[in-house]
Structure 1
């Protein structure tokens, strides 16, 4: 992600290997857009194709069913999509939080661009937080992200971050992530998404009650190993995205769980199901092999890493069911 440092901004502590531009707290959306590299527009153009003509100049004809999306600032192409594809602009993602910050106490904490502009996001604190045993602080966030290459719908996801290690985990109850998704075949209506999120955000208390239950669930050595085996080495190996690195992953997460993970010695995590879950989320967010921090973040939030974390949560909740 070193080539994309200018495409991320943050307040307070620098996330993800100290990349990005630091901002003072409570900055206007316009300042965020510039600092996060989101002060440009997605433009569109018809797709044309060239027809050879031996006796004259080649014909250039339009293909009406598709269009090219490109950046307004550097004219770099982003994707080729269907003619009905609904664009969500980078500054729309930031503007989503304007009234939430003004009236509901939300505060933007990070925002930025991935893959040259094909994906972009903003993450804001909701003001909700819980302290588990041993001063293990978990804060509530709202993540809004989208893409312009067809790889991601516009998704608003209630998320938790464990402060001691900056691990992220999507809020989920009963095996379902409490996200609101808007496909690009539909116009993005920010107010409608906020209304739907009202239900998801009320899940915070129930979700954190279950996390407290995990922190009170003591785990024996063989139970810990069985848990890691179920997360990383079951019949769905290919879905975990870990492939031949399963053995390395097992050794690493076990060591992190036993003592090497950030916060592993806190009372809530030491020898508990919460500690098992935290070791997996820390591994996915910070330790898993990736071509770059940018790719690791993309995977941890939107790709295979997110699936691994969801599976780890499901397996942990089964231990206290």
Structure 2
């Protein structure tokens, strides 16, 4: 099986996707860079082409409107972009966390390189956590990712992980932005990004309050089915559920007891359990070319959008 994740490191428990090199906690950023594969520079050079075709003498020309990005270590080409494109270097991803880990109690947990160096990320635990009905624990994280192939703006976002099942969910925090995206047409300013995100205990408390309210919201079977039909944009008049949507049936089975943590008091028959049925499906069950393709989708792609829609719909129930 091919892997989009080229190199990766993690501290603590093995990540839910099962990939990467294990590190002991509290390693230096240099160690993280070396072990995660973020120890290279993204170089650039003007685009050149050879007009010496069909037997004509070789002649090299420069195309001044675009440039080639390539790796400093392997010299492998990464992409062709306009001259206005602002590169975010691998070391900038890790440096973003320096003051957060040294002074604010954050702890790097994963970092790595995807698609041969075209996509880069690091994820840190914020130190914030809470439990729903005593046993269902949720930890807070901050993700920073970028790409140099046009597939992703430099993106910083808060996310949460439900410990019992390692389900991930991007979270919206009041008092700041849930996600900050810096297009590559502008320079990446880490100080400004942190200011826009907003770090406050009251914002995390608001998220905790909403998750607890979801755990208190009991659902009737008809409500859960209506929710899933709306989530997957399925017709309400068709009663042959198995023929209409195998995907919806899979999520419904997770919600009804097949999911990890589905029998906990916080999840059984509740809006919180329904939300986590969707996140488990996206993170662990949804068909994908490989584990790393699933990770990419769950964080940045269609999977992330489906989870965001599910969060919005469950919040509407309360």
| TM-score, length of structure 2 as denominator length | 0.92
Confirm or deny that 1:282 pairs with 2:289: no
> In structure 2, what is the Cα distance between the partners aligned to 1:285 and 1:11?
20
Asked if structure 2 preserves the Cα contact closer than 8 Å seen for 1:78 and 1:149, the reply is: yes
> What displacement does 1:56 show?
5.0
How is 1:16-55 mapped onto 2 (pairs within 5 angstroms)?
Answer: 16-52=16-52
* Counterparts in 2 of 1:64 and 1:194: CA distance versus 1, 3 Å: same
> What displacement does 1:55 show?
7.8
> In structure 1, what is the Cα distance between the partners aligned to 2:285 and 2:87?
34
> In structure 2, what is the Cα distance between the partners aligned to 1:128 and 1:223?
32
* Counterparts in 2 of 1:117 and 1:48: CA distance versus 1, 3 Å: same
> What displacement does 1:157 show?
0.1
- Residue matched to 2:240: none
How is 1:163-178 mapped onto 2 (pairs within 5 angstroms)?
Answer: 163-172=163-172, 178=178
Asked if structure 1 preserves the Cα contact closer than 8 Å seen for 2:267 and 2:273, the reply is: yes
Worse overlay, 54-63 or 13-22: 54-63
- Residue matched to 1:9: 9
Asked if structure 1 preserves the Cα contact closer than 8 Å seen for 2:172 and 2:178, the reply is: yes
* Counterparts in 2 of 1:88 and 1:202: CA distance versus 1, 3 Å: farther
How is 1:214-293 mapped onto 2 (pairs within 5 angstroms)?
Answer: 214-234=214-234, 247-293=245-291
> In structure 1, what is the Cα distance between the partners aligned to 2:289 and 2:137?
31
List structure 1 runs of 4+ shifted beyond 6 angstroms. Answer: none
* Counterparts in 2 of 1:285 and 1:254: CA distance versus 1, 3 Å: same
> In structure 2, what is the Cα distance between the partners aligned to 1:166 and 1:123?
14
- Residue matched to 2:140: 140
1:93-140 Cα offsets, whole Å, 9 max, x none, are: 011111110000000001111111111110001111111014100111
> In structure 2, what is the Cα distance between the partners aligned to 1:103 and 1:167?
28
> In structure 2, what is the Cα distance between the partners aligned to 1:289 and 1:177?
31
> In structure 2, what is the Cα distance between the partners aligned to 1:256 and 1:272?
13
* Counterparts in 2 of 1:131 and 1:45: CA distance versus 1, 3 Å: same
Asked if structure 2 preserves the Cα contact closer than 8 Å seen for 1:5 and 1:21, the reply is: no
> What displacement does 1:262 show?
0.6
Given candidates 293, 308, 311, the residue that maps to 1:310 is 308
SS in 2 for 1:172: coil
Structure 1 alignment gaps of length 5 or more: 236-244
Asked if structure 2 preserves the Cα contact closer than 8 Å seen for 1:6 and 1:36, the reply is: no
> What displacement does 1:261 show?
0.6
How is 1:157-196 mapped onto 2 (pairs within 5 angstroms)?
Answer: 157-172=157-172, 178-196=178-196
Size of the alignment, in residue pairs? 311
- Residue matched to 2:64: 64
Structure 2 alignment gaps of length 5 or more: 236-242
SS in 1 for 2:27: coil
> What displacement does 1:52 show?
3.4
> In structure 2, what is the Cα distance between the partners aligned to 1:228 and 1:246?
12
> What displacement does 1:24 show?
0.2
Confirm or deny that 1:121 pairs with 2:124: no
> In structure 1, what is the Cα distance between the partners aligned to 2:15 and 2:56?
58
> What displacement does 1:180 show?
1.3
| TM-score, length of structure 1 as denominator length | 0.91
> What displacement does 1:246 show?
7.5
SS in 2 for 1:81: strand
> What displacement does 1:199 show?
5.6
